[in-house]
């Protein structure tokens, strides 16, 4: 498993971004902080609320994708892929 993925997972577990420090740039850490805060604010959703669960999963996936380096262009990647076909 990628070191950044493990660090992101640990960050969610312990509630802070310290495991990611030194693995990402200062610029990346600022975006990760925003995504992390959103995911953490939604983490304790009511398990009977499907919409809340989906909102948490979306925030969680966004955080992990950015930590892995897959979403550093803030969502514009898919558009470029489609334009190249």
What pLDDT sits at residue 31?
95
Instruction: Provide the whole-model pTM.
Output: 0.77
* Banded model confidence at residue 73, pLDDT cuts 50, 70, 90: low
Q: Total domain count for the chain?
A: 1
CA count, 13 A, side-chain hemisphere, 5: 5
List the one residue out of 2, 23, 9 whose CA is nearest residue 63.
9
Mean pLDDT of 11-39: 95
Across residues 49-74, what is the average pLDDT?
89
- Indicate the pLDDT class of residue 70, thresholds 50, 70 and 90: confident
User: What b-and-e string marks burial along 15-27, b requiring 16 or more CB atoms within 10 Å of the CB?
Assistant: eebebbeebbeee
- For residue 2, pLDDT beyond 90: no
Residue 24 three-state SS: strand
Q: Which domain holds residue 27?
A: 3-83
pLDDT surpassing 50 at residue 36 = yes
């Amino acid at each position: 498993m990628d070191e950044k993925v493990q660090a992101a997972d640990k960050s969610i577990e312990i509630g802070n971004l310290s495991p990611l420090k030194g693995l990402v740039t200062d610029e990346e850490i600022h975006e990760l902080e925003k995504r992390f805060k959103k995911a953490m604010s939604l983490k304790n959703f009511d398990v009977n609320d499907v919409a809340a669960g989906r909102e948490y999963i979306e925030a969680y996936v966004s955080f992990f994708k950015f930590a892995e380096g897959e979403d550093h262009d803030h969502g514009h990647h898919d558009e470029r892929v489609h334009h190249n076909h």
